[in-house]
Amino acid sequence: MLIHPIDFRYGTPEMKHVWCEENRFSCIVSAEAALAKALGDAGLIPKSDAETIQEKAGLAKLSRAKEIEAEIGHEVMGAVKAVSEVCGDAGRFVHFGATSNDILDTATGMQIQQAAGVLAEKLAALRSSLLCRAEETKYLVCMGRTHGQHALPMTYGLRFAVWAAEVFRHEKRLQELLPRAAVGKLTGAVGTLASLGKDGMQVQQDMMQTLGLGTVDVSTQVIARDRYAEYIFFLANCATTLEKIAVEIRSLQRTEIGEVSEPFGKKQVGSSTMPHKRNPVKCEQVCSLARIIRGMVEPALLNNTLWDERDLTNSAAERITFPEASVLTDHCLKIMTAVIDGLEIHEDAVCRNLSFLQGVNLAESVMMELTRRGMNRQEAHGIIRKASLEALEKRCPLKDILSENPAVSAILSAEETAALLRPEAYIGLAAEQVQAVIQKLR
């Protein structure tokens, strides 16, 4: 019986695999095999036994480990005994010198490393999609909005470029945090390495090198959870960027604005009762799941506040936070990439909204030109402000109001004023900025 929506509704196969029970067990077995190799290389166990463990550990079955765990009530010892069974006499050296979290935390480091590879591909795909749309629309003039109100003209390309640059920063963050989060340990019950004596630090280093992980400088019985909190916060930060994009698309798809539409299948149904509906359900899904992902930040932070050298209060929480936050973030990245790739831009609505205020949204352009030609900037602001409010109240073009103002007409001709109120003439270096971002991020 399936209960959690991740099992049947959300998530990609590749990220689900990273956090599935089978892969977790595989990482645990790999950690035990790498430990045996390091012990053999250090001469702490017979080389032949170390080689046998490396060769046969992979034959251990999750099902057998779970059978043993059901009998003895200990997850790691269930895995240890299952591996020992398939290694024959060499099995007596499985888990030699290790404590449970040497293996569990090291396995988690392996899973974070794998998850990061999946996320890196998804982030790169989204960045590429955004850059393609930015290039397509770098000259498409549209209405910019602040506080939900018409502000100044901009371009759609600039909007896509801003999002692409933000996604790129997440790619860099992932690269930067990975050496801190994807690490393993072999420091024993309280972090002293007492069980392995003088060779302990070298054994730890060799074990992690075999696994392709970083090594802690120092730890208690567990790896400090600030490392994991950083990973979870990264996922929450990513999810918030995706929600930011989704919110903007939802807003622009409002009937009253109508500038964009997220992809909609030919047979897709928008409402069970309103046949005309075309709802932005994919973007709404991203917004909804982002709330869940951000909700993982607090338990991830609290998991670092353990008693003394450790307690078990982090364990149950991490069984939920790691897979949920990783799977849902990966899912949202895939959804948002598909939305961007298939996003429809309705240029007729874009043009309609640009002219909706009949030039009032370009009042700054006139104010700036009056100042350049000698008028006091504050005086120009006052004149244009008053004229803009009058134009809004009378619902008439701003150029008509300005043409009747002696202070303005003494400096600007009617033709010059009209030219200043053309949206295409006041987008500044939007296109140039977009092109610079494209060149930098591709």
Catalytic residues: 147, 271
How far apart are alpha carbons 363 and 50 in whole angstroms?
78
Burial class (CB in 10 A: 0-12, 13-18, 19+), 401: buried
Using CA atoms, how far apart are residues 138 and 154, in angstroms rounded to an integer?
A: 9
Dihedral of alpha carbons 270, 271, 272, 274, sign: negative
Are 331 and 246 in contact, with CB atoms under 8 Å apart? Answer: no
CA distance 260 to 201: 58
With contact defined as beta carbons under 8 Å apart, do 215 and 204 qualify?
yes
Three-class DSSP category at 68: helix
| Phi, psi (rounded to 5 degrees) for 61 | -110, 140
d(CA 389, CA 360): 8
Angle, vertex CA 217, rays to CA 211 and CA 218, nearest 5: 110
Question: Distance between CA atoms of 417 and 399, rounded to whole angstroms?
Answer: 6
Spatial contact of 391 and 401, defined as CB atoms under 8 Å apart: yes
Of residues 23, 25, 19, the one with CA closest to residue 79:
25
d(CA 429, CA 157): 12
How many other CB atoms are found less than 10 A from the CB of residue 165?
17
Contacts by 51-56, CB closer than 8 A, 24 or more apart: 52/87, 52/88, 52/90, 53/83, 53/87, 53/90, 53/91, 53/93, 53/94, 56/86, 56/87, 56/88, 56/90
Tokens of 351: 């043009």
Collapse the DSSP code of 213 into the 3-class scheme (helix H, G, I; strand E, B; otherwise coil) and give the result: coil
